[in-house]
Structure formats: structure tokens, C-alpha cells
Amino acid sequence: MLRFITMSLTTSLIAAGAALAQEPTLPLLFADDFEKGADRWEPGDPKAWRIVENSRSKVFEQFRQSKVKTPHRSPFNYALVKDLVVGDFILTAKVLSTGKDVAHRDMCLFWGWQDPAHHYYVHLAKQGDDRAHQIFIVDGKDRVKISKTTTKGVHWGDDWHQVKIVRTVADGAIAVYFDDMNPPIMTAVDRTVIWGRVGIGSFDDTGMYDDVKVYGKRAEKK
């Protein structure tokens, strides 16, 4: 019976995620291709981020480890969008991992960021386990895995990849997509944090970001 309930929940989450993945119906609140720099971003450590030019033109690169101490076990490489707080949202971005090709080679995206001790993030890694390639919450203590479904990992290679995160506050649904926009590679349900900022980064690797867009509903800080 427990196995049946678990499978039913997984199926429901995947179906819900697939529905959320359709073309955005929320208004576009933010878009940045970094051609004019990164003035709209607030890095945890500005010295770890820079604008560089490559075959994609200009991109935002986290090129070294940030000198940031987080209050709890959580990613310490991050850059947040300035002056944008959302509830429901769809976040899309192109990402390129430049870290060593090890099991936990990762890139991260953040949302519900209220402060370094309260936020969500997705850890996209080459190989998944309880500490990698999961959706996590940081809620006044070390990060906790909240994924209901996930995959074995992603293949980073030396290529750019498309990532999408969809979040709806009313039902707590979270869906994460990687390259193929259907089905999601991860899902979760959680309503602990219902508003916050969004951001990009990595746990302890390096990488580049481009063409970041946020569709959503603005929210008030509470």
C-alpha cells in the first residue's frame, strides 16, 4: 500500500510539473542577457563574479570560490537579482558548468531567498544522492532535502544547458527542468517559504549564466 501511495504521489507531481511547464502565462518581470553588465545583480562576493565574452557574447561568470560564510550548511556561491521579490514564478536560464568533472559537479539556482538562513535552492549535479542533485530548503538550519522525485543526475559536459524552475505558492508545487522541458527532472511540494528573491550560483564549483528571465507575481516582504 505504501508503495502504491508513493507511486501515485510521484505520478501526480510529474503531471503537475508537466502542466506548469507550458509557455509562461505570468508576466515577465526580469530579463538579463548581460550585454550591459551585471548591475542588476547582487553577488554574495562580488570578487568571485565577472562579465566575460565567449562564443555566446557576454555572460555572467562565477569564476572562483566566494569568500562567504553561510550560517548553515548551504551553497556559498550566489548572486541575487536586485529589487525583485516574488511568490509564484517561472525562472529560466542558460547555464554552463566549468567545474571539475566529479560526481557532485554542480550548478545551483535559488528562490524564496529571504536571507542566507532562509531560502530554497536546487542542486543540479552529475550524480545524485541525498546531498546532491536534489531540491533543498534552508530554514534556520543546515539544508534539508525536500525532493519528492529526482533523477540519477545530469550530463554537464562542456555545453550550455537550459534550466527552468516553476513555483506556485498556493499548492507549494516546485518543478525543475533541464534541457528537455517535459517531464521535470525534479519535483517537490513545500509551503514553508512563500516569498523571496531569486538567484544563481553553485555550491562549491564554478560556472557561467546567460539569458536569465523571471516571469511571476511580485510579493511583499513580510
pLDDT in tens, 204-215: 999 999 999 999
Strands in the chain per DSSP E: 28-32, 41-43, 49-54, 57-62, 77-81, 86-97, 106-115, 118-125, 134-139, 144-145, 147-149, 161-168, 173-178, 186-189, 197-202, 207-218
Name the average pLDDT for the chain.
91
How many Å apart are CA 155 and CA 140, to the nearest integer?
A: 32
For residue 99, give the nearest of 210, 211, 212, 208 by alpha carbon.
208
- Quick one: pLDDT at residue 24? 66
Q: C-alpha 119: how far from its chain's center?
A: 11
What digits encode the pLDDT tens for the residues 82-94?
999 999 999 999 9
Task: Name the residue range of residue 19's domain.
Answer: 2-218
Where b means 16+ CB within 10 Å and e means fewer, 80-91 reads bbeebbbbbbbb
Cβ–Cβ < 8 Å for 217, 87: yes
- Quick one: pLDDT at residue 23? 54
Number of separate domains in the chain: 1
Task: Compute the average pLDDT of residues 155-171.
Answer: 97
Q: What is the CATH number of the domain that holds 113?
A: 2.60.120.560
φ and ψ of 99, to 5 deg: -80, 170
The dihedral region occupied by 34, where left means phi > 0, alpha psi between -120 and 50, and beta the remainder, is left
- Quick one: pLDDT at residue 56? 65
